[in-house]
Amino acid sequence: MRSAGFTIEERQSFETNFLNKGFVDTFRKQHPGVVGYTYWGYRHGARKTNKGWRLDYFLVSESIADKVHDSYILPDVTGSDHCPVGLILKL
């Protein structure tokens, strides 16, 4: 079964169109081993079982990637099927 947002083509497109064009995924750079979901569908209690997707990103150009002090996800903030993401830059 194919799942929108998680197909091989979509993941490759993200890499091809952003990461290979000089953008940096700030959360992944700061937290390489953390799963860090930002979206959980309302059906089947996905948030409670932590079966989600990471759909929300802060991408920066490689030229300022070293200015990223922190990039974070706030998974405990509710009120939406997405949670807030944050970015702190030291310019």
Statement: residue 7 has pLDDT above 90: no
The pLDDT, as a whole number, for residue 11 is: 84
Are 73 and 57 spatial neighbours (Cβ–Cβ below 8 Å)?
no
- Asked if residue 75 is part of any domain, the answer here is yes
- The pTM assigned to this predicted structure is 0.85
Range of the domain at 76: 8-89
Query: What pLDDT digit, counting tens, does each position of 16-66 carry?
Result: 999 999 999 999 999 999 999 999 999 888 999 999 999 999 999 999 999
Statement: residue 70 has pLDDT above 90: yes
Q: Which residues of 11-34 are buried (b: 16+ CB within 10 A; e: fewer)?
A: eeebeeeeeeeebbbbbeebeeee
**pLDDT band at residue 3, thresholds of 50, 70 and 90?**
low
Strands (E), 1-91: 23-25, 59-61, 68-73, 85-89
- Asked if residue 1 is part of any domain, the answer here is no
- Asked if residue 3 is part of any domain, the answer here is no
Would you say 82 is a known binding-site residue?
A: yes
Are 26 and 68 spatial neighbours (Cβ–Cβ below 8 Å)?
yes
Cα 40 to Cα 46: distance, rounded to the nearest angstrom: 5
- Asked if residue 37 is part of any domain, the answer here is yes
Cα 51 to Cα 75: distance, rounded to the nearest angstrom: 12
Cα 87 to Cα 89: distance, rounded to the nearest angstrom: 6
- Asked if residue 2 is part of any domain, the answer here is no
Statement: residue 2 has pLDDT above 70: no
Q: What 3-state DSSP class applies to 40? A: coil
How many independent structural domains does the chain possess?
1
